[in-house]
Amino acid sequence: MKLLLITREKSDLSKMFFSACECRMISPDITEAEDINEYDSVAVLGGTEDKPIILNAFLRDALERFADTGKPLFLEYTDSFRCVYSASPVKVAPHRLVADKSFTPEIKEGDLLDSRYNSYIRPHFLMPDTIPLLYYREFTPAHDRIESRPDDDPLKNAALFLDGNILTAAFRLCNYKQAVFSPQKRWDSLINYIFEFLGTAVPFRMPETQYKIKGQLETHFYDEIDKCTSRSLKLLKEYLVREDGSRGIKEGLSHNILPDGTRITADVVRTDCTGEAAGAFLFSHNAELQKKGEKMYDLCYGPLMVQEGEFEGMVRWSEQAWNVCYQDDVARAIIPSLLYAYFGVSDKYTEKAKKALSFLCQTTCEDGLRPARTDVLEYIRSGREVRTLAEEKNGYASAHYNAYYSAALLLGYILTGDEDFKNTGVRGLETLMKLYPDTVREHSETSELCRLIFPLSVLYAATKEKSHYDMLDRVFNDLQKHRHTSGGYAEWDTGYKAACFNNAGGECSLLAVNGDPVADLLYSLNWLPLGFAFAWHVCGEPRFLNAWKDICTFFIKTQLISEDKRLNGGWCRGIDLDRLEYCGIPHDVGWGPCSLETGWTVAEVTLGMLIGKGLVTKKLKRE
């Protein structure tokens, strides 16, 4: 079987063609007379470049005569053929492909496929008997498939369509492995379909992907912890703005993956990411990394914190959002430095942390909670003093925004004896638990549960009151209801009350329907290694230690392994717990399922693993 491949560059698909059959590759710019009819099939791959292929007149004439013979022709990202020509390319970042009908063993009617940050050339016209196989849908709040689609027009937004012996893909497909299209089995099945359509031999050799998932543990659990944290710490080093850590750390990787597999770095220096990563370095037992962590905290407690005036002690959100303060982000930035003192390693930053906590404490509402964020400009415009916040009755009753803030206050109290910290921290968590489980949810109920484990453990450590232990016990037990057999915890939201649920045009939850096997490693599971480890430390109960081992095993199994140093050792946001594959609803404007956060995810997971192992080996203990 002989195949003619017309393309300008090699790609995943071209490598697969050469592994499957006798194949010749030529450029689409060729104008010499060529006997195309000697080939059994032809594939035109335009997706190696941003602009789609427009066939020159000589080649087009030859190809149209070839198509008239009835032999199979595959056109990928090719602007015009026969009576069909297409609109200019548009980016389809949040769009998803929907199967209009069942056409492979893995692709059934209504199934969803994600093509990442792709380019789409919507056909202006289609031939009368065209059969749409896949079409683009802009907003699809579903995890895996959609059951009902009465308002859809598959022909209008056709993306893969069949016209007799001509199969066309109107999007960039040829580097689908490098661009990590998901779910992988569906895409592999689709490629099989294309190869069978062309008459090529299957199976064929699959190209390497950007990354793979580690999978099962290979050695002793604690050895795996060491390997896992070693990889994640190396990854964090890759994102340092300056090698010594003094300029902080970049946020991570954008969720947008370009059709050629290019990943875009999110390079804003955020205080929370910097403090969280600094904490992972400090607890690494590695002198070189500890020095980097110290430099990073010098930045957090230096220019990233207001040093004088009305806003003295306010920790800035980032180098970009200079005059914005999120108390939860502040808490997560400084908590590792407080834990460093709590476990008797060093109290170098305790006084500086106290300054940050004092500002927050003095601007907290009467119920122990703060508003979601503080903007300096708001107070400049109104002439109102920021400390008048303390006169307001109620803050924002969300664990997402306030639970870790309360935990930071209580750690501050344990270290300094400041009664204001204690009273405010206790009041804040008690306010949340009075409303529980109906706190104000941002992404899901699961996220709120995960976000409460560590703060309630710190609360019990600070007070030793049974009522506070009972709060921790209740939340822990409720969380176990959502444990998946993989060891992760599925997203769930009773009543679908979360602000980001089913959201288009803003931040969006990964949850579509309760019961979907999807986990969030940015807003939910990432808090659990530290939360379970600290709960075991405070309570001494085997169930918390077992939960820590269980969630750490999950993170070990799902860690990314890649030749790309920006990916190797990390975790992305959204994972399908059945497939153990990173995929999910891609509608979040900034942090979709393929985003990778240095602080919120990688550093938090690493810190929880390191502290947990330190507690087990007694390298860490409270004097």
User: How buried is residue 390: exposed, middle or buried, by Cβ count under 10 Å (0-12/13-18/19+)?
Assistant: middle
535 and 595 both lie in a single domain: yes
26-39 b/e (C-beta count within 10 Å ≥ 16 → b): eebeeeeeeebeeb
Q: How many CA atoms lie within 13 A of 276 on its CB side?
A: 30
- Indicate whether 621 belongs to any domain: no
Q: In terms of DSSP bridges, do strands 118-120 and 90-92 run parallel, antiparallel, or are they unpaired?
A: antiparallel
- 3-state SS assignment for residue 43: strand
Q: Which pLDDT belongs to residue 204?
A: 67
Q: Which pLDDT belongs to residue 505?
A: 87
From 198, 229, 261, the end of a domain falls on: 198
Asked if residue 471 has pLDDT above 70, the reply is yes
Q: Which pLDDT belongs to residue 31?
A: 79
Q: For residue range 260-309, what is the model confidence (pLDDT) as tens digits?
A: 999 999 999 999 999 999 999 999 999 999 999 999 999 999 999 999 99
Contacts 24+ apart (CB under 8 A), 339-345: 339/279, 339/283, 339/411, 339/611, 340/279, 340/282, 340/283, 341/415, 342/411, 342/414, 342/415, 342/622, 343/614, 343/620, 343/621, 343/622, 344/621, 344/622, 344/623, 345/282, 345/620
176 and 287 both lie in a single domain: no
Lowest mean pLDDT among 29-38, 258-267, 490-499, 596-605: 29-38
192 and 243 both lie in a single domain: no
269 and 164 both lie in a single domain: no
Q: Which pLDDT belongs to residue 203?
A: 66
Q: Which two tokens stand for residue 180?
A: 């990590």
145 and 287 both lie in a single domain: no
Query: What range defines the domain where residue 268 resides?
Result: 212-616
- Indicate whether 607 belongs to any domain: yes
- Indicate whether 553 belongs to any domain: yes
Length of the chain: 623
Q: What is the CATH number of the domain that holds 35?
A: 3.40.50
From 198, 225, 242, the end of a domain falls on: 198
Asked if residue 623 has pLDDT above 80, the reply is no
Q: Which pLDDT belongs to residue 207?
A: 76
Given the structure tokens 């992907």, which residue do they identify?
209
- Indicate whether 206 belongs to any domain: no
338 and 236 both lie in a single domain: yes
Rg (Cα) of the chain, in Å, rounded?
A: 27
Asked if residue 243 has pLDDT above 90, the reply is yes
Q: Which two tokens stand for residue 492?
A: 């769930």
Q: How many CA atoms lie within 13 A of 87 on its CB side?
A: 13
180 and 279 both lie in a single domain: no
Q: For residue range 151-203, what is the model confidence (pLDDT) as tens digits?
A: 999 999 999 999 999 999 999 999 999 999 999 999 999 999 999 999 987 66
Please state the separation of Cα 321 from the chain's center in Å: 22
162 and 226 both lie in a single domain: no
243 and 380 both lie in a single domain: yes
CB 275 within 8 A of CB 300: yes
Asked if residue 205 has pLDDT above 90, the reply is no
**How much of the chain, in percent, has pLDDT values that exceed 90?**
94
| One-letter identity of residue 607 | L
Q: What is the mean pLDDT of the chain?
A: 96
From 171, 198, 225, the end of a domain falls on: 198
- Indicate whether 477 belongs to any domain: yes
117 and 229 both lie in a single domain: no
Q: For residue range 106-151, what is the model confidence (pLDDT) as tens digits?
A: 999 999 999 999 999 999 999 999 999 999 999 999 999 998 899 9
Helices (H) and strands (E) in the chain, counts: 16, 22
Q: Which pLDDT belongs to residue 126?
A: 94
Q: For residue range 502-558, what is the model confidence (pLDDT) as tens digits?
A: 999 899 999 999 999 999 999 999 999 999 999 999 999 999 999 999 999 999 999
pTM: 0.96
- Indicate whether 326 belongs to any domain: yes
Q: Which two tokens stand for residue 179?
A: 């661009």
User: How buried is residue 388: exposed, middle or buried, by Cβ count under 10 Å (0-12/13-18/19+)?
Assistant: exposed
Q: Which two tokens stand for residue 130?
A: 């065209």
Q: What is the CATH number of the domain that holds 385?
A: 1.50.10.10
- Indicate whether 623 belongs to any domain: no
What CA–CA distance (Å, rounded) separates 54 from 77?
9
Q: For residue range 386-417, what is the model confidence (pLDDT) as tens digits?
A: 999 999 999 999 999 999 999 999 999 999 99
Q: Give the count of domains, the chain.
A: 2
7 and 81 both lie in a single domain: yes
- Indicate whether 203 belongs to any domain: no
576 and 485 both lie in a single domain: yes
What CA–CA distance (Å, rounded) separates 357 from 406?
10
Q: Which pLDDT belongs to residue 93?
A: 87
